[in-house]
Amino acid sequence: MKKAETTNRILKSETEEVILLTQALVRIPSVYRPGEKDGNEERVARFVYNYLKKNGVEVHIEEVEPGRPNVIGIIDSGKPGKTLLFEGHTDVVTEGKNSSWTYDPFGAEIINGKMYGRGTNDTKGNLACMMIAGLSLHEEKENWSGKIILCIPCDEEGMMIGIKDFIKRGWAKDVDGAIICEPLDKEVCITQKGAMRVIIRTYGKMAHGAMPLSGINPNLRMARIICELHTLEEKEKQRLGKHPMLGYPSITPTILQAPVAGEAQINVMPDECMTTLDIRTIPGQNHKELEHKIQAIFDHLVKDDPDFKATYEVIEDRPWTETPIDDPLVKSVSQAVTEVLKKPATYNGVPGATDGTFLHLEGIPIVTIGAGDREIPHQIDEYVEVEDLVIMTEIYRRAALLFLQES
């Protein structure tokens, strides 16, 4: 077969390319800050769009919300076969206080083999890896069949509106497997925790702090709920045990606020209290059953307290995922890791939810893997090992070739 004509590559070396591309991505801040000029993903998404287009890739850009676009690259071999999707998001979490960083959080400086900056690890480094791997495969279409989709959504760190929009527009239709590009120590992650985000509110009656009997204290009712939720968490741990890849499930109160609106005063009993729950689930847990157990806590507490009034609202529901170890995608990724690292692949799980959750709901097998220490995301002085970027690019490339090779 005639070798495919090569496109005009931006740089001579793929090793050099992935390093410089990561630096370019990190140097474009993409923290979502509503109301702030450039406080979104648009600038980095436009950069990604132009980069792929200049390298001959069919590319689309679609606005999910104002200033928050998805980018979709299509690499078609021209031959019938399977469709493989790579996913890497453009948004990053806040850098926090700049003065707390040893290096510029958007400088992408390389010091002793490590590149520092917000997104180097989660997940602009891995986004660069999948893009460069995709460009390499774009140039060697004679070696594989089918199609590759580069899914580059906004808002993975928030409510994941990017991947939801991607699916809604039909891009995930007929995808046979998806590699989710997240920092996980180059381990083959075949399962991930589910997530429920819940708002609980307790209601009372405002009163003077010196005369509490003239009111109803919602804070006491919330305290009882939180204690009951801790008991529920312990029961779930005992019932399910420790998952070999994901550890224990958890029910974590995160925000606690009273009053919910208006000014707080030390001598005023509020009329409402609110808490949020970050619930992380493992295989064996049913989210609807957990909802019933929260409601059962309310039903139990109201029996002993006629003034007890509480509500809950599930604002996000992301089920846990699991891909069989003998799935063709898992086999392809594992073999690629073994070939590149010269040692057997390590299997593991993802402690949090990813955009892959929603692809999994579409019936698509997913594997999550990427360069970077899994403990580093969202921290001050976030970094990635430069060598790992080069290694991960080759793992992505080989995994795709193995999954899409001709019969």
Confidence of residue 5 (pLDDT cuts 50, 70, 90): very low
Q: What is the tens place of the pLDDT at every residue in 304-354?
A: 999 999 999 999 999 999 999 999 999 999 999 999 999 999 999 999 899
Q: Report cis status (omega within 30 of 0) of the bond before 66.
A: no
Residue 352: the pLDDT is 87
Q: How far is CA 387 from the centre of its chain?
A: 23
Checking DSSP bridges between strand 177-180 and strand 366-368, what pairing results, if any? parallel
Question: 360-381, pLDDT tens digit by residue?
Answer: 999 999 999 999 999 999 999 9
Residue whose C-alpha is closest to residue 256's, from 275, 270, 273: 275
Q: Is 272 helix (H, G, I), strand (E, B) or coil?
A: strand
Only one residue has tokens 């009993």, namely 269
Q: Is the pLDDT of residue 9 over 70?
A: no
* pLDDT, tens digit, 9 for 90 and up, residues 22-73: 999 999 999 999 999 999 999 999 999 999 999 999 999 999 999 999 999 9
Number of continuous H segments (helices) and E segments (strands) in the chain: 9, 18
Neighbours of 244 (CB within 10 A): 10
Q: Which two structure tokens, joined as six digits, stand for 67?
A: 């200033």
Q: What is the 3-state secondary structure (H, E, C) of 208-236?
A: ECCCHHHCECHHHHHHHHHHHHHHHHHHH
d(C-alpha 379, C-alpha 389), whole Å? 19
CA atoms of 359 and 193, how far apart (whole Å)? 14
More confident position, 128 or 10: 128
Statement: the pTM of the whole predicted model exceeds 0.75: yes
**pLDDT tops 50 at residue 388:** yes
Mean pLDDT of all residues belonging to the chain: 95
Please report which helix (H) or strand (E) contains residue 274, including its range.
strand 272-281
